[in-house]
A and B are shown apart, each in its own frame.
Chain A
Amino acid sequence: MRRAISRNIALVSAIFIVVFSTMLITNYFQVSGSQTIQSELLEGLRQINEESGGNLQLQEQIRELDLLARKAYFISLNRLRTGVVILLVMVVAFAVSLQVYFAKSRDIPDKEIDPIDDWLTKSRTRKYIVRSAGALAVCGLLFAILTSPYMRTERSETVAYADEYEYESQMPEEALAMTAEPESQSIASDPETTETAVAAAADPATTETVAAADTIQVSRVTHNAFRGNNSLGHSSATKIPTSWDPASGRNILWRVPVSRQGYNSPVINGNRVFFTGADEEARELYCYDLTTGKELWRLAARNIPGSPAQVPETTDDTGLAASTVATDGVRVCAIFATGDVICADMDGNRLWAKNIGVPSNRYGYASSLLIFGNSLIIQYDNSNSPRVISLDLETGNQRWVRERPQKIAWSSPIIAYVNRRPQLILMGDPNIISYNPNTGEENWRVECMLSGEAATSPAFSNGVVYAASEYAVIIAIDAETGTVLWRDNDILPDTSSPVATPNDVFVATHYGLFARYDAKTGEITKTMELNSEFYASPMIVEGKIYLVGTDGRVFILSARSDFSLINSFDTGERTYATPAFTDNKIVIKTEDSIYCVSSL
């Protein structure tokens, strides 16, 4: 009787356990899978709240919804916990009834599964232990041998980096990091397959598979922002032409007129060239094929909540699209003088867009964007609320924002690796401030731009930040401590940003003088009268300085100790934009057109 009861209890509890645990597991996955408080509705409302700049009624509504979602979450969690306790009780009932049921069942002797002779068992065990140990040893050895190339690769990359640093002592650290990129890769020439090829190229292991008969070579050296990667004025591109002529077409791969005007500079990533253009009718982001010059897509910044109905007034030499775009090879972001920020994928699909407030700026907003990791950095120095903003690159949501004690500026941010730690350096009026790009925390600040207008961007090399602005100062700051190393106010740039190497700082003025400062002492070591006006910033590539005047004259100078003029020629087109570089190619944007110089 007792046995029968325990058997029945065991059966019932077993069925209950199976059914109930299935329900609980299902419930668990429902609870864990649901993003209760990150629902689309809440996210949408939050975004509207951010864009509207703080609607108290809306915030109250969001708070109520948020509280409701949290309550729902915890109620479901409590239910789950209660269910587990009930299940636990049933498991105990099952275990006890099972024990009672089998209490009288003795383990009677059954057939021996081992040989009667213990010695035989031992002999067999010895054999299996030897074999198992041998197999494990072989597996261990094979694993150690087969994985050793991968272990070596990791270390050798580091060594290579260090060696290269010693060898190329003239090059700044960040530029060296870029030279670790492979020289080139195969990519399909068909625009439709370009994306696949670029995606594949991101993985070095798949690079070889992309090579096909109908392929062209596209460099992996990128130019992801204004003045190159991290906006430092250096490029690791190689085989760059030193002469070209748009009129005759010599060394010109393609040349196309631009749809809408803009003083922004082009950027290059893979086989794509990005830039923007704007007028009163539209503000657009363009993507061109680097190889053919064909327009791949264009994306208009429209239907953006908070975007002004009337575009703000800007001067002719600034316009609505003076800010250069930034890309990370997956997304590309652009900003316009209306405060509209748009982000698209490599196919031109809009990922997100928002208006961060119309900047109050007497000439027009001109600071360029910069991407650091998964953050989009925006220097938003205007007369209303100067600040630096970090947006999540994926969603456009705000990651952090810092109010800036600045006046209006047209400068652009740079990323400097100091002791291999990144610093976000922003130049403004009157401070140069270093931030932690991950958190926005301030590292140091130097008040030095006490007069003039901050339109240039800082330079960085060998742990020192250099900044120069007309009517103010040229200054060298230890990026580790924020200590001023030297300052001078002799030859200063107006719009063209300085560029630095460990030994020299180069400055191009708007009145045509090109000067070299000693990076360590601040002494002017050489000047060169180029008789041109410079808005575009100098770029250092392959030990040469590439500089384009507003009149279209190109100057190529040695960035090494001799500092000589290598070549100079006239392209005949007014140019304000800084050229973009990749292996074998330069993309130059003029007032009316964009063209690609190629040595191939």
Chain B
Amino acid sequence: MLVPMAIFAQHRFPQPDFESGYVYPERHYFTPAEPFWSYADVAMLVLLMGFVAWAVIRRQVRWPVILVSVISVAYFGFMRAACVCSIGGVQNVALGLVSSSYTIPLFVLLMFTLPIIFTLFFGRVFCAGVCPFGALQELVNVRNYRLSKTVTSVLGVFPWVYLGLAVLFAVTNSRFIICKFDPFVGIFRLGGELPLLLFGVALLVLSIFVGRPFCRFICPYGAILSLFSRVSFMRVKITKKECINCQLCHNACPVDAIRPPYENKVKESRSAGVNRILRYIILLPLVTVAGAVIMYMLSDRLSKVNSDVRLYDMVVQNETRPMEVQPLELQTFYGHGKTVEELAAEVAEINKAFRIWSIVIGAFIGLVIALTLIGLSTKRTRRFYEIDDANCVSCGRCFGYCPQNQLNKK
């Protein structure tokens, strides 16, 4: 796991500075997403997801998930350098939906939509082992130390917040933060920014003892898939036979997605429970508006993520009090030919977009919090151990633990 730490050495290497008549060779850049590899990626994605779906829904076996995980880490991870990934595709789609000047490449659109379609049919088979990030965590996981359900539920809100911020920065054409702060891409590329590499290594070390921390508490695409997974047509089952409530599967699940049997032991009156839900429903618009207001107030600060806004600030500062040493950005700006007025007009538009989208995203975050509270106010009696479809990542670990499945084999 310390592999990538040692090789983030990507220096800017100055060229020889003699005027000896030497002609520098023409630079060649890799064409991003060459057609062949794009088709290969999509084909591989469909093939692997189909294989996992067959394994976990029809055959209820785990070994294909491990096999797919190894293939995914090797192919999507190290070979294809974890780009384009479905997780980051969220941003391309968001930008494509609001910007007329940005066309989403078909390949990216497929990488984004295919896992959703598969989830709608078979649950989160993409997360099982096709996603290289999930696969990497799955492969290193050895023991599962359970976390308090309270902690995991609270942390479970974060992917939605992250999703909201990622969409905000994408639609304002500011930055693709999911890609920028991707903790695993540096590992797959054997190089990257040190803090992110350290974060990625820390997540992997944590994954040895805690099941898939990135998938559960960070991944914004997982949050989207969890919505579709709730209503998927075919779902993963622990066993096709009757549950004997042995609790083995509950302990085996690395993502705590198996709910134990539950009988309503708290003798709360029905009216009290209804009143609570009603209170939350009344609070829902208030929380939504509060989220929108707070994000609106923060929109100016958030807009600093945009490089043009930062450049404008630098230009204003420089115009007011010329800098001793002009940074490269300023030198480029002044050498480019754009006027400060033009830049100011562009920045005004960006700030306006930030204000509008901050309201939308703030409302979205408020809505997520309110709906989470409402969800936590409902009661449902369960007689057996059941899979929580939203959080189940179809890893198939529970199959081997279920005595009923072992009986079936015999």
Q: Which residues of A contact B (CB under 8 A)?
A: 17-18, 21, 24-25, 27-28, 31-32, 37-38, 46, 59, 62-63, 66, 73, 77, 80-81, 83-84, 87-88, 91, 95, 98-99, 102, 105-110, 113-114, 116-126, 128-130, 132-133, 137, 140-141, 143-145, 147, 151, 154, 157-158, 161, 177, 180-181, 328-330, 373-374, 419-422, 436, 438-439, 441
Contact present for A88 and B298 (CB under 8 Å): no
B35 within 8 A of A: no
The CA of A436 and the CA of B266, in the complex, are separated in Å by: 78
CB distance from B2 to the nearest CB of A (A): 4
B275 within 8 A of A: no
Contact present for A158 and B320 (CB under 8 Å): yes
**Which of B11, B157, B294, B322 has the most A CB atoms < 10 Å from its CB?**
B322
- B265 CB contact (under 8 Å) in A87, A99, A119: A119
A129 with B335, Cβ < 8 A, contacts A32-B11, A102-B143 known: no
Contact present for A154 and B297 (CB under 8 Å): no
Contact present for B6 and A25 (CB under 8 Å): yes
- Pairs of residues from A and B, 9 with the lowest C-beta to C-beta distance, nearest first: A24-B6, A21-B2, A144-B297, A373-B326, A374-B325, A125-B153, A107-B251, A420-B340, A119-B266
Residues of B within 8 A of A118 (CB): 259-260, 262
Residue in A closest to B343 when the chains form the complex, CB atoms: A420
Contact present for A154 and B9 (CB under 8 Å): no
Contact present for B157 and A63 (CB under 8 Å): no
Contact present for A157 and B320 (CB under 8 Å): yes
**Which of A73, A144, A181, A436 has the most B CB atoms < 10 Å from its CB?**
A144
Contact present for B150 and A140 (CB under 8 Å): no
Contact present for B325 and A373 (CB under 8 Å): yes
- A151 CB contact (under 8 Å) in B157, B300, B334, B372: B300
Contact present for A177 and B6 (CB under 8 Å): no
CB distance from B327 to the nearest CB of A (A): 9
The CA of A107 and the CA of B143, in the complex, are separated in Å by: 8
Contact present for A21 and B298 (CB under 8 Å): no
Task: Using A114-B149, A140-B297 as known contacts, list a sample of 10 further A-B pairs with CB atoms less than 8 Å apart, ordered by residue number in A.
Answer: A28-B7, A77-B9, A80-B6, A81-B7, A108-B248, A119-B265, A119-B268, A144-B297, A329-B324, A419-B341
- A421 CB contact (under 8 Å) in B1, B3, B334: B334
CB distance from B253 to the nearest CB of A (A): 9
Residues of A within 8 A of B148 (CB): 113-114
Question: Could you tell me which residues of chain B, from 286 to 312, have a CB within 8 Å of some CB in chain A?
Answer: 287, 290-291, 294-295, 297-298, 300-301
Contact present for B297 and A106 (CB under 8 Å): no
A137 with B294, Cβ < 8 A, contacts A119-B266, A421-B339, A438-B334 known: yes
- A95 CB contact (under 8 Å) in B139, B252, B313, B376: B139
The CA of A95 and the CA of B11, in the complex, are separated in Å by: 32
Residue in B closest to A117 when the chains form the complex, CB atoms: B265
A122 with B7, Cβ < 8 A, contacts A63-B16, A140-B297 known: no
Interface string of B333-370 (1 = CB under 8 A from A): 01101011100000000000000000000000000010
Residue in A closest to B251 when the chains form the complex, CB atoms: A107
Contact present for A80 and B248 (CB under 8 Å): no
Residues of A within 8 A of B315 (CB): 420
**Which of A27, A109, A110, A126 has the most B CB atoms < 10 Å from its CB?**
A126
Residues of B within 8 A of A21 (CB): 2-3, 5-6
Contact present for A107 and B144 (CB under 8 Å): yes
Contact present for A91 and B320 (CB under 8 Å): no
Interface string of B161-184 (1 = CB under 8 A from A): 000000000000000000000000
Residues of A within 8 A of B28 (CB): none
Contact present for B301 and A121 (CB under 8 Å): no
**Which of B148, B150, B372, B379 has the most A CB atoms < 10 Å from its CB?**
B150
A373 with B324, Cβ < 8 A, contacts A28-B9, A87-B3 known: yes
- B326 CB contact (under 8 Å) in A73, A80, A120, A374: A374
B373 within 8 A of A: yes
The CA of A87 and the CA of B187, in the complex, are separated in Å by: 12
Contact present for B294 and A144 (CB under 8 Å): yes
A161 with B373, Cβ < 8 A, contacts A107-B252, A128-B154 known: no
The CA of A154 and the CA of B17, in the complex, are separated in Å by: 41
Interface string of B215-240 (1 = CB under 8 A from A): 00000000000000000000000000
Contact present for A120 and B266 (CB under 8 Å): yes
A63 with B18, Cβ < 8 A, contacts A119-B266, A126-B377, A421-B334 known: yes
Contact present for A80 and B9 (CB under 8 Å): yes
Residues of A within 8 A of B300 (CB): 151
B142 within 8 A of A: yes
Contact present for A436 and B335 (CB under 8 Å): yes
The CA of A177 and the CA of B321, in the complex, are separated in Å by: 7
B32 within 8 A of A: no
Residues of B within 8 A of A106 (CB): 248, 252, 401
Contact present for B6 and A141 (CB under 8 Å): no
CB distance from B403 to the nearest CB of A (A): 11
Contact present for B297 and A419 (CB under 8 Å): no
Contact present for B301 and A17 (CB under 8 Å): no
A113 with B146, Cβ < 8 A, contacts A119-B379, A132-B154, A438-B334 known: yes
B319 within 8 A of A: yes
The CA of A373 and the CA of B287, in the complex, are separated in Å by: 50
The CA of A147 and the CA of B372, in the complex, are separated in Å by: 31
**Which of B2, B11, B252, B373 has the most A CB atoms < 10 Å from its CB?**
B2
Residue in B closest to A439 when the chains form the complex, CB atoms: B335
Residues of A within 8 A of B376 (CB): 122-123, 125-126, 129
Residues of B within 8 A of A88 (CB): 3, 190
Residue in A closest to B143 when the chains form the complex, CB atoms: A102
Residues of A within 8 A of B259 (CB): 118
Contact present for A438 and B331 (CB under 8 Å): yes
Residue in A closest to B400 when the chains form the complex, CB atoms: A106
The CA of A373 and the CA of B328, in the complex, are separated in Å by: 11
Residue in A closest to B324 when the chains form the complex, CB atoms: A328
Contact present for A109 and B6 (CB under 8 Å): no
Residues of B within 8 A of A329 (CB): 324
Contact present for B340 and A27 (CB under 8 Å): no
- A130 CB contact (under 8 Å) in B146, B268, B373: B373
A84 with B3, Cβ < 8 A, contacts A117-B265, A125-B376 known: yes
B323 within 8 A of A: yes
B264 within 8 A of A: yes
B247 within 8 A of A: yes
B140 within 8 A of A: yes
Residues of B within 8 A of A145 (CB): 297
B40 within 8 A of A: no
